[in-house]
Amino acid sequence: MSFKNLPLLGTAEIIGALNLSPKQTASAANLAHRVAQSAWRRQPPHKRGLSYEEFASTVSDCAWLTMFEFGALLALGRHHEALLLADASRMVHHSARTDPPK
């Protein structure tokens, strides 16, 4: 389990709010890193100049916390809530990328 890129305060809040066990916490942290590694491997060719560590440091705190919470909900067996979180995250992310600046 690595908390290297996870924002510790936000991660601790999620752990406390969901009352995660050490095993569930490790599972959520590992999932967050697997998702980030998958995103790094799937980058378009023109963006592949970064190592994983460099790429991981560019991922926003909000994204890390969302990935961690998603993993935590899955570890708790709360699959429906995890999918709702993922869908909401996609909608917000897509909206932020397509809405013109005001």
Q: Where are the domains of the chain?
A: 8-98
Question: For residue 73, is pLDDT > 70?
Answer: yes
The C-alpha angle with vertex 10 and arms to 25 and 26, in degrees rounded to 5, equals 10
pLDDT of 102 strictly over 60: no
pLDDT tens digits, residue range 8-27? Answer: 999 999 999 999 999 999 99
Q: Count Cβ atoms below 10 Å from residue 78 Cβ, excluding itself.
A: 14
- Each residue's pLDDT tens digit, 48-57: 788 899 999 9
pTM equals 0.86
Alpha helices in the chain (DSSP H): 8-18, 22-41, 52-58, 61-75, 79-98
